[in-house]
């Protein structure tokens, strides 16, 4: 990963953004819909991109879809708006903000922001998340370590935040969506663009997370995040 190249692209993007004017709002709205669609689809939501747009922009109901699926995309938009507001207020990522993000994601589905008290398994994964008693220690350690991860650049820190959080799996449900949101929290906090993992790329995405969870190797996942960031920055600059 060439972090210096990403820094140069970020500077070009910042110069370009001011020239885009109101068009930037359109780019943001488009990304928000795509992001909500992909992040929920990775977890099994069956709404198409067009259906997600109809729900989020046009406030339409979709026949044949469960209320849970509707709530998942609506809640994702709310949670991401909360993330962006926190970043604007320059709030560092904390246990409170993570619990708040999860509460937004789970609204009208289950009580959010509460750590699990049951064991969980990740379907198809070799890694087994810690049992509740060990999980509490692990998640506290996660928050304690975040401010001191100074050996990591911004992309690596974002990747670590996601990979370590989902490895711990502190909630009974919604860990993946929460992890992707807190990854983007870190990216936005350092002036980078948020990224979206396409549902079609879920296999390499899961494989790189598994590599970290089992072997402690963050590089493949950090490289995946870097490529997503480079793609977004390049696309905006080219407009």
Domains of the chain: 3-238 (1.10.3290.10)
Q: What is the pLDDT of residue 17?
A: 86
Mean pLDDT, the chain, whole residue set? 95
The Cα–Cα gap between 171 and 102 comes to: 9
- Which residues have CB under 8 Å from 10's CB, separation 6+? 191, 192, 233
Q: What is the pLDDT of residue 65?
A: 93
Asked whether 31 and 37 are in contact (CB, 8 A), the reply is: no
What pTM did the predictor assign? 0.96
Q: What is the pLDDT of residue 156?
A: 98
The catalytic residue among 37, 102, 162, 169 is 169
Q: Three-state SS for 203?
A: helix
- Which residues have CB under 8 Å from 137's CB, separation 6+? none
Q: What is the pLDDT of residues 192-236, one digit of tens each?
A: 999 999 999 999 999 999 999 999 999 999 999 999 999 999 999
* 169 annotated active-site: yes
Q: What is the pLDDT of residue 112?
A: 97
The Cα–Cα gap between 175 and 29 comes to: 24
Q: What is the pLDDT of residues 126-155, one digit of tens each?
A: 889 999 999 999 999 999 999 999 999 999
Q: What is the pLDDT of residue 239?
A: 76
Question: Is 90 exceeded by the pLDDT of residue 22?
Answer: no
What would you report as the CA-atom Rg of the chain, rounded to the nearest whole angstrom? 17
């Amino acid at each position: 990963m060439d972090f210096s190249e990403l820094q140069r692209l970020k500077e070009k993007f910042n110069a370009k953004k001011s020239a885009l004017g109101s068009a930037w709002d359109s780019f943001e709205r488009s990304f928000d819909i795509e992001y909500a669609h992909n992040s929920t689809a990775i977890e099994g939501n069956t709404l198409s991109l067009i259906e997600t747009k109809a729900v989020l922009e046009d406030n339409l109901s979709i026949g044949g879809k469960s209320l849970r699926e509707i709530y998942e995309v609506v809640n994702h938009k709310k949670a991401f708006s909360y993330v962006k507001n926190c970043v604007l207020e320059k709030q560092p990522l904390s246990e409170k903000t993570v619990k708040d993000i999860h509460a937004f994601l789970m609204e009208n589905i289950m009580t959010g922001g509460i750590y699990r008290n049951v064991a969980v398994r990740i379907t198809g994964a070799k890694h087994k998340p810690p049992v509740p008693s060990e999980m509490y220690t692990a998640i506290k350690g996660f928050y304690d370590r975040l401010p001191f991860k100074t050996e990591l650049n911004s992309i690596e820190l974002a990747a670590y935040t996601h990979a370590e959080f989902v490895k711990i799996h502190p909630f009974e449900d919604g860990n993946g969506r929460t992890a992707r949101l807190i990854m983007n929290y870190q990216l936005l906090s350092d002036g980078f663009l948020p990224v979206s993992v396409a549902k079609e790329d879920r296999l390499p995405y899961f494989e790189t997370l598994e590599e970290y969870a089992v072997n402690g190797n963050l590089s493949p996942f950090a490289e995946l995040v870097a490529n997503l960031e480079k793609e977004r920055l390049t696309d905006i600059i080219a407009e």
